[in-house]
Amino acid sequence: MPPVMAMVLRRLIVLPVLLLCSAALVFFLAWVSPYDPAEAYVIAYGPDVSAELRRQYVAVWGLDAPAHEQFFQWLANLLRGDWGQSRLLSGQPVAEVIAARLGPSAMLVGAALLLVLVWGLAAGLLAAAFQGTWVDGLIRLSSYFSVFAPSFWVALLAVYVFSVRWGMLPAGGIADPRSVTGGVQWSHLLLPAVTLALSQHGWFTLYVRNTLLEVLRDDYVRYAEANGVGKARLLLLHALPNALLPFVTLAGTHLPELIGGSILIESIFGWPGLGNLTRQAAMAVDVPLLLGITVIGAAAVVTGNLVADVLYHALDPRIREAR
């Protein structure tokens, strides 16, 4: 069996165990939290909810059963293809709710990841080309800012500047409510995607810059430089290909941070995706919905890392020769 196929097979075998552990951890955290699902239901529907209706709510959702029974019942239903019903959304099937929100979230995270890769590669290349100049200093300063600045603060600042003050971009939503075409409008996608990308591009920019500078110090690059090869040619044809290989793996490892950061970004911009839904489910202690989102998110992270590793093996001939 080829080494890449063996790696993929191993990951697929371990995948169910990782998903089970992730779901069990989320269920345990929800169970030990001080928030009571029945109390959240009462708060959501006002003080007119009677004690009898509260008891019925507890009985219908099986909240009076021991914690381990609740989890194993959910797991048994999941193995039969039943993801459960959302307590937050009046019993709607969890699978249908997640399916409706999956597309907008994938579009937002995908657009942010594309911006991070292009932005980080271009800025890192520019910083390495002008090492020690004001261009290099400005790029590094912006990278440090993106790493340490809280994403929610950047999002609120972006809304104030580009939506409230200048009126250039809409402040939230997926599309203009007056639109008859439906779908996602790029003007609504641009601001949350750029804000989400801002929280991650600093890592990529600094990584590309430092990797390029390290490659430029190698003997074969210095030999090429001594033979009259220009700096632009050295960067693009000699240093950049070597810097791009670990860059693929870095993109996979930072995918979980983009997915996690989308929770705040979607909440601030009113984006109808899984991140916003996760916040709402956590506030309502909707455990079936939280477990479903956890399974989907963990599967997306594992798949992204697997794709990055497969691409790394395919692009680096040294790994194939070593195998």
In a domain, 106, yes or no: yes
**Rounded to 10 degrees, what is the CA torsion of 285, 286, 291, 292?**
-150
* Beta carbons of 54 and 45 less than 8 angstroms apart: no
In a domain, 128, yes or no: yes
In a domain, 85, yes or no: no
In a domain, 35, yes or no: no
* Beta carbons of 115 and 193 less than 8 angstroms apart: yes
- Give me 262's structure tokens: 């989308």
Number of domains, the chain: 1
SS3 48: coil
Q: Can you give the length of the chain in residues?
A: 323
Dump strand ranges (E) for the chain. Answer: none
In a domain, 143, yes or no: yes
In 161-286, which ranges are continuous DSSP H helix?
A: 186-198, 201-216, 219-226, 231-233, 240-253, 255-269, 274-283
Half-sphere exposure at residue 234, Cβ-oriented, CA atoms within 13 angstroms: 22
Whichever domain contains 139, its CATH number is: 1.10.3720.10
Residue for token pair 């970004």: 265
In a domain, 36, yes or no: no
Dihedral sign for Cα atoms in the order 225, 228, 233, 237: negative
Q: Return the closest-CA partner of residue 189 out of 172, 203, 209, 212.
A: 172
Please give the pLDDT value at position 313. Answer: 74
> What is the full per-residue pLDDT of the chain (323 aa) written as tens digits?
677 788 888 888 888 999 999 999 989 888 887 777 777 666 666 666 667 777 777 777 777 788 888 899 899 999 998 998 887 777 889 999 999 999 899 899 989 988 988 888 889 888 888 888 999 999 999 999 888 888 888 888 988 999 888 988 888 888 776 665 666 788 888 999 999 988 888 888 888 888 888 877 777 777 777 777 777 777 777 677 777 776 777 777 777 778 888 888 998 998 888 988 988 888 888 889 999 999 998 888 888 888 877 877 776 655 554 45
Query: Could you list the residue range(s) of the whole structural domain that residue 229 is in?
Result: 94-283
Please give the pLDDT value at position 7. Answer: 80
Please give the pLDDT value at position 178. Answer: 67
Q: Return the closest-CA partner of residue 15 out of 323, 302, 321, 314.
A: 302
* Beta carbons of 173 and 266 less than 8 angstroms apart: no
In a domain, 37, yes or no: no
Please give the pLDDT value at position 135. Answer: 93
What is the longest distance spanned by two Cα atoms in the chain?
87
Half-sphere exposure at residue 193, Cβ-oriented, CA atoms within 13 angstroms: 24
In a domain, 107, yes or no: yes
